[in-house]
Amino acid sequence: MKQCHLVIRESEKGKAVYADADIRKGEFVCEFTGPVCTMCEYKNMHDPLNNHYLQIDEDLFMGPSGNADDLINHSCNPNGGLVYRDGRIEFIAIRDIRKGEELSFDYSTTMDEDCWEMDCLCGEENCRGKVRDFKHLPRVLQEKYIALGVVLPYIVKRIKTRS
Residue 30, interface with Zn ion (CB under 5 A)?
A: no
Q: How many CB atoms lie within 10 A of CB 79?
A: 20
Shortest Cβ 96–Zn ion spacing (Å): 21
Q: Which helix (H) or strand (E) holds 92?
A: strand 88-93
- Asked whether position 137 contacts Zn ion by CB under 5 A, the answer is no
Q: Please say which residue, 122 or 152, places its beta carbon nearer to Zn ion.
A: 122
Q: Give CA–CA dist 64/87, Å, rounded.
A: 17
Identity of the residue, 47 or 125, whose beta carbon is nearer to Zn ion in the bound complex: 125
Question: What is the distance of C-alpha 20 from the center of its chain?
Answer: 19
Contact (CB, 8 A) for 91 and 105? yes
Of 14-22, 103-111, 115-123, 132-140, the window that binds Zn ion (rule: CB under 5 A) is: 115-123
**CB of residue 140 to Zn ion, shortest distance in Å:** 17
- The DSSP call for residue 25 is T
- Which x/- pattern over 37-76 shows residues binding Zn ion (rule: CB under 5 A)? ---------------------------------------x
Helix, strand, or coil here: 5?
coil
* Residues at the contact surface with Zn ion, assessed by CB under 5 A: 76, 120, 122, 127
